[in-house]
Amino acid sequence: MDTSNPAAFVNAQLLSNFIGKKVRTVVQVNQSHGGVTIAKSTDNQQLTVTGLPPVPLMNFVEVIGIAENNNSINAEIWTDFGNTFGMNNYKLYV
């Protein structure tokens, strides 16, 4: 495991502190089309995630990528958590 460049756990509010850096977050997918996913963060704000996921997305997804601006992440890794996920539990880590 490469630990030289860890991804910071963020929500939408914290994203602006990590622009240009690697981040990870869990979002609830609202819509996904053509490499752009619109999603709700754990703090109920809208985020845009760019990049093509390897499979069609269900509902809850963890993304790891580079924070492009205060509401956008360019995703490198997508992990689909399916239709059920404890968003409140994730808030404890952020």
Calculate what percentage of the chain has a pLDDT beyond 90.
Answer: 64
Q: What is the pLDDT of residue 1?
A: 47
Residue 39 tokens read as: 């999603």
Bridge partners of 63? 25, 78
Q: Which helix (H) or strand (E) holds 82?
A: strand 72-82
* Per-domain boundaries in the chain: 8-83
Q: Topology of 8-83 in CATH?
A: OB fold (Dihydrolipoamide Acetyltransferase, E2P) (2.40.50)
Burial class (CB in 10 A: 0-12, 13-18, 19+), 39: buried
44-69 average pLDDT score: 91
Q: What is the pLDDT of residues 23-41, one digit of tens each?
A: 999 999 999 888 999 999 9
Check pLDDT > 90 for residue 76: yes
